[in-house]
C-alpha cells in the first residue's frame, strides 16, 4: 500500500478515526505522518499507561491533586520509590512495589478491570480442557452466591452442571 499523501513511499502508519459513527481510515508513510501530525491529523495526545494510571490515582482522591497520606515518606524497601512518586508518575519501581503498595493498587485494579485476579482468555479453537476448568470455576462461584442468597433451585442447576462438566473433564483426561 502506498502513502495517500505523497504517493511515493510505502504506507507504514495506518489509523482509523470514528466520529459519530463515521469511519475514516488513513494510510501514510512515516515522513508524511510526521509532517501532518502537528498540522492537525487530529491524533489524540499520546496517552501512555503510566499517565493513565497516574490520572486514575489522582482522580480517586478527588479534585485532581495528590495529598500525601498520614504516613508520609513511605517508600519501597528495595527500589526506594516513594508513594508520592508512584502516584504522580503512575509507574512502580520494581516487582517488590506491588505487594508494598497493594492497598493502593487493589481498588485501582478493581476499578479498571472489575477484578483483581487475572483470569485470561483461551482461544475458541484450542484449550478445551482450560475452557472446561474455567467454566467449572465460574459455576462454583455462582453456586456459592446462589446458596448465600438461599436460591436453592438455581443452586441445584449449577451443581448439576458442575457435575456434568467435571464428568466431561474426566472423560477428556482418560482419552489423553
Q: What is the pLDDT of residues 74-123, one digit of tens each?
A: 788 888 888 878 777 777 888 888 888 888 778 877 777 777 777 666 66
Grid cell locating 21: 459513527
Res 142: pLDDT: 94
Q: How far apart are CA 164 and CA 176, in angstroms?
A: 19
Residues in the chain: 176
- Please report which confidence band the pLDDT of residue 153 belongs to, taking 50, 70 and 90 as the band edges: very high
Cα torsion through 143, 145, 149, 154, rounded to 10? -30
Residue 72 has pLDDT above 60, yes or no: no
Name the average pLDDT for the chain: 76
Residue 5 has pLDDT above 70, yes or no: yes
Res 56: pLDDT: 63
Highest mean pLDDT among 6-20, 56-70, 156-170: 156-170
- Please report which confidence band the pLDDT of residue 40 belongs to, taking 50, 70 and 90 as the band edges: very low
Judge contact between 91 and 83, C-beta under 8 A: no
Res 123: pLDDT: 64
Q: What is the pTM of this model?
A: 0.37
Q: Residue 103: how many CB atoms within 10 A of its CB? A: 7
Residue 170 has pLDDT above 80, yes or no: yes
Amino acid at each position: 500500500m502506498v502513502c495517500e499523501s505523497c504517493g511515493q513511499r510505502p504506507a507504514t502508519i495506518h489509523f482509523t478515526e470514528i466520529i459519530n459513527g463515521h469511519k475514516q481510515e488513513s494510510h501514510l508513510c512515516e515522513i508524511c505522518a510526521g509532517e501532518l501530525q502537528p498540522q492537525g491529523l487530529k491524533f489524540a495526545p499520546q496517552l501512555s499507561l503510566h499517565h493513565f494510571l497516574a490520572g486514575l490515582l489522582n482522580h480517586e482522591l478527588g479534585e485532581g491533586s495528590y495529598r500525601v497520606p498520614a504516613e508520609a515518606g513511605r517508600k519501597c524497601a528495595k527500589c526506594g520509590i516513594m508513594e508520592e512518586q508512584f502516584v504522580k508518575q503512575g509507574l512502580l519501581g520494581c516487582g517488590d512495589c506491588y505487594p508494598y503498595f497493594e492497598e493502593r493498587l487493589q481498588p485501582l485494579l478493581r476499578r479498571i478491570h472489575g477484578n483483581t485476579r487475572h483470569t485470561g482468555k483461551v482461544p475458541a479453537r484450542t484449550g478445551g480442557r482450560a475452557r472446561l476448568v474455567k467454566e467449572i470455576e465460574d459455576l462454583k462461584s455462582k453456586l456459592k452466591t446462589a446458596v448465600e442468597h438461599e436460591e436453592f433451585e438455581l443452586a441445584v442447576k449449577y451443581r448439576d452442571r458442575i457435575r456434568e462438566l467435571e464428568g466431561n473433564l474426566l472423560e477428556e483426561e482418560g482419552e489423553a
